[in-house]
Structure 1
């Protein structure tokens, strides 16, 4: 998550944010940090909540990343990244930070790792001292508008990045007012595309739950809220 509360010019330059998204090896992060259990994110929405046919993701592309840095007018700089402090340096936070540092170096950006006490990781005082932190989000209704609203409303306490684009809330309110599911989906896909181009986050992965299922079990479908209707399951 980029922290827009900070005054770092790298964070406030959209071409730099997009370059960072292109330079980070997200598949490597999935394999080495998250155990290969989570799908690489192509945007802000999990596909279980919103299926956007235009989602293409930021696959690692050094050429595109360097071209975007050239367009940004920024040659180099420093970004601070907060990790949850641990005596062991082999936690997911430290492994992630190590890969980010290696990747950003390819753009001439130095990543400075800042250790934060675990209980204070998401405190405002801690966040305002770092340009980036690791942040995950779960919706509580399974609908796309419910999922995204806290992340784009500047006045919502869950918008830790302080990302602010009033047009997105206008689109969201229009979507919530419509009764046509096709129009709703079209508006949310448009909103998704805008966020993708604005790159306010490094889109890493979508949180997943893993189930072990016997081959002869049929009808098992996991809801986006991680619930299962067992009356639909048989063998």
Structure 2
């Protein structure tokens, strides 16, 4: 072959190679994350892609099946609810329901739905889709749809189930009838677990496959999930709110270490970092290329004591644990002034908070006295479970566990620190397999019911009540409070409930934190929501 022929062959080969390289996969995402211009490491080199660094992976992507914040970070942007919270608060606003009407007796809610909404699979959103989702949730079980039972009191024909019927009265109108009034009903509907899913996708895929390939109506549609590495979402071109979302792609990257996540932000590998250590806030504020975000405090971090496991079935032992742990020292050491010591299971910003309760003082001698009264004057050995991922209510679970371990040793308790992968940790703790476990809660809807009933009522043992704590007097108060529409009376009931919980001491409440995030300085219109589930449809790069 002569020189000209070789040159012609080379040019042809280069042209074909370029054309092949430019082809994308069927789902529009290339192997490295696709159209947003991301590298294999996950950093962005285009202003239409947001890379969100977080401490752990999602447990699942079907919102009704999960309870963890890492899952809701993603599902919040894939699914929408009938009611939406405000951009910066938990006030109720129109969502997939454009408007609603409530009967005078508080038992009938009529929702008029938004027109022109479609699911990511092209199916129309309508009243039948809403009914389908409610019927699916109501036919579940507590080991599958944890939040549904917690929020609505049960399933199907259960006596406690507050929902009597959900009916499509026409193509765009849904009527929900309740068996009894439920004061936080609208706020409950706005919670992330109740995102409306595509009936067609659920029918075609089934629950397990749908959990890996979610289909909603939200501003971003699901593209890819590499477990413990990243989740890729891309702009839904047919999204019903004009001009939104502003980003073309969002990538959630799992970076377990807080310091490594901040380094990735500083180097430009990611654009937004969750779980910034309070001790690193000055570093962020001193960097002109970064900005610091404070998430409004609506949380509690706690040490849960499984009340069905010896010796924590004895209230005196649980009270001793409360006296033995130096909460102020933990807050000072690990929260850098961005938290306050907790004494109740709900944060002070929640209506019904009982500030008259006197918290357990750090008192080694009193702790020893209580252990002596419980027949454990020589102490005992236990397992102390430490979270493997940073959470908004506890930036470093391992270090907090070590501090608690030292405190307990001073009263004769030997605590062996145990941990598991995050999803396993949650599942085993939920099943009551831990002696004591570090955990916490970020409020879903700004209501006391979402803390006290969800986390500590006997109805929710095996779902969100990980301590297996039960008290009939508490249960009666919480059920009454759920149905009471007079806010003053509700608040009084919740204050009484906190007195019972304080005495029984199923938790050692530790801290109410102000969680920190950091982002690139050119990231605009991002708001850290108090629920911990951030809607990214307004965010963009300047």
TM-score by length of 1: 0.79
Query: Mean alpha-carbon deviation: is it higher for 56-65 or for 17-26?
Result: 56-65
Unaligned runs of 5+ in 1: 212-221, 228-235
Find the aligned partners of 1:125 and 1:226 in 2 and give their Cα distance: 22
CA separation of 1:180 and 1:69: change in aligned 2, threshold 3 A: same
Runs of 4+ in 1 over 6 A off after TM superposition: none
1:79 Cα deviation (Å)? 1.4
Number of matched residues?
A: 212
1:136 Cα deviation (Å)? 0.6
Structure number having the greater helix percentage: 1
**Does residue 1:2 correspond to 2:308, yes or no?**
no
Find the aligned partners of 1:137 and 1:179 in 2 and give their Cα distance: 25
Query: 1:23 aligns to what?
Result: 324
Q: Aligned to 1:158, which of 451, 464, 467? A: 464
Structure number having the greater strand percentage: 2
Q: Aligned to 1:64, which of 366, 369, 381? A: 366
CA separation of 1:180 and 1:126: change in aligned 2, threshold 3 A: closer
Find the aligned partners of 1:192 and 1:125 in 2 and give their Cα distance: 23
Find the aligned partners of 1:53 and 1:84 in 2 and give their Cα distance: 29
Matches within 5 A, 1:32-181: 32-49=333-350, 50-75=352-377, 76-85=379-388, 92-124=396-428, 128-156=432-460, 157-181=463-487
Is contact 2:384-2:434 (8 Å) kept? yes
Higher relative contact order (CA 8 A, sep 6+): 1
Partner of 2:513: helix, strand, or coil?
coil
Q: Deviations over 1:190-222 (max 9, x none)?
A: 1001101110001101232469xxxxxxxxxx9
Query: 1:192 aligns to what?
Result: 498
TM-score by length of 2: 0.36
Find the aligned partners of 1:207 and 1:18 in 2 and give their Cα distance: 23
Q: Aligned to 2:488, which of 172, 178, 182? A: 182
Find the aligned partners of 1:117 and 1:167 in 2 and give their Cα distance: 36
Find the aligned partners of 1:151 and 1:47 in 2 and give their Cα distance: 17
Is contact 2:408-2:415 (8 Å) kept? yes
CA separation of 1:126 and 1:154: change in aligned 2, threshold 3 A: closer
Find the aligned partners of 2:407 and 2:313 in 1 and give their Cα distance: 20
Q: Deviations over 1:142-163 (max 9, x none)?
A: 1112321111233431112211
Find the aligned partners of 1:25 and 1:152 in 2 and give their Cα distance: 23
Find the aligned partners of 1:125 and 1:202 in 2 and give their Cα distance: 16
CA separation of 1:115 and 1:174: change in aligned 2, threshold 3 A: closer
1:73 Cα deviation (Å)? 2.1
Is contact 1:15-1:69 (8 Å) kept? yes
Q: Deviations over 1:105-143 (max 9, x none)?
A: 121111011132234221127864421111111222211
- Bigger radius of gyration: 2
1:46 Cα deviation (Å)? 0.7
CA separation of 1:3 and 1:145: change in aligned 2, threshold 3 A: same
Find the aligned partners of 1:44 and 1:126 in 2 and give their Cα distance: 18
Is contact 2:331-2:341 (8 Å) kept? yes
Partner of 2:445: helix, strand, or coil?
coil
Find the aligned partners of 2:363 and 2:470 in 1 and give their Cα distance: 27
Is contact 1:4-1:163 (8 Å) kept? yes
Unaligned runs of 5+ in 2: 1-303, 390-394, 518-527, 534-542
Is contact 1:120-1:126 (8 Å) kept? no
**Does residue 1:203 correspond to 2:509, yes or no?**
yes
Find the aligned partners of 1:126 and 1:78 in 2 and give their Cα distance: 22
Is contact 2:455-2:464 (8 Å) kept? yes
CA separation of 1:155 and 1:210: change in aligned 2, threshold 3 A: same
Find the aligned partners of 1:147 and 1:64 in 2 and give their Cα distance: 29
CA separation of 1:141 and 1:119: change in aligned 2, threshold 3 A: closer
